[in-house]
Amino acid sequence: MIYRMHDAAFGSAERLRFSTFLHDAQELGRNVMVGQSGWQQQLEANKRSFIESFVMRPEFVAAYPASLSPSDFVDRLNTNTGAALTTTGRDALVNVLTANPNSRGEVLRSVAANPEYSRRTTNRAFVLMQYFGYLRRAPNDPPDNDFSGFHFWLNKLEQFNGDFVAAEMVRAFLTSAEYRQRYVP
């Protein structure tokens, strides 16, 4: 969700900073204890709060000023998703925003959750999560300083139709010198 929210809003999720992701993930998971009574409701409340605060962030407000028409707002999000919305879906979101100008967060959430967009971004998000989860850094942070490693793993994952086991991706991260130097005694 965090990946798709940033990507739909700014078209740049691969450039998502680890610290930003970690902050957002902690915000989404705050007081959520899976298995305890009411955890799904708490998670949903956290998602709503996160989305509403997300659309109030200075970078979001700068990219999507209040003066932007509902159709321009939805069209910019749709452009960032590679035009994942159908015409009907796009028009429905424009109507939601026209009826309630305060529903920008709801509209962004709908765009980010679009099934076609989710399908298209799954592999990209998975590769980024490998960097965040195993190396605790963004793909372009040192020692890499560019996205060549990210693109290598994305291409390999796509060669194997998203099968990360066959692509030996997780194993490669776990046996990498960087991971071993950081986490293996």
Q: In this structure, are 92 and 15 located in the same domain?
A: yes
Q: Which of 56, 79, 113 is the last residue of a domain?
A: 113
CA atoms within 13 A on the CB side of 138: 17
Number of compact structural domains in the chain: 2
Has residue 159 got a pLDDT over 80? yes
Residue 84 class from Cβ within 10 Å (0-12 exposed, 13-18 middle, 19+ buried)?
A: buried
Boundaries of domain holding 148: 123-183
* 118 within domain boundaries: no
Q: Which residues contact 170 (CB under 8 A, 6 or more apart)?
A: 130, 134, 164
Mean pLDDT across 130-151: 94
Average pLDDT over the chain, rounded to whole? 94
Q: Which residues lie closer than 8 Å to 139 by C-beta, 6 or more apart?
A: 14, 127, 128, 131, 147, 149, 150
Q: Are residues 12 and 83 in the same domain?
A: yes
| pLDDT at position 153 | 95
The pLDDT tens digits for 16-65 are: 999 999 999 999 999 999 999 999 999 999 999 999 999 999 999 999 99
Tell me, what amino acid is at 62? Answer: A
Q: Do 35 and 89 fall within a single domain?
A: yes
- Return the structure tokens found at 168: 């030996």
84 & 59 share domain: yes
DSSP string, 60-79: HHHHS-TTS-HHHHHHHHHH
Please state the rounded mean pLDDT for residues 92-98: 97
Q: Structure tokens of 105?
A: 């967060």
Same domain, 6 and 41: yes
pLDDT tens sequence across 101-123: 999 999 999 999 999 999 999 99
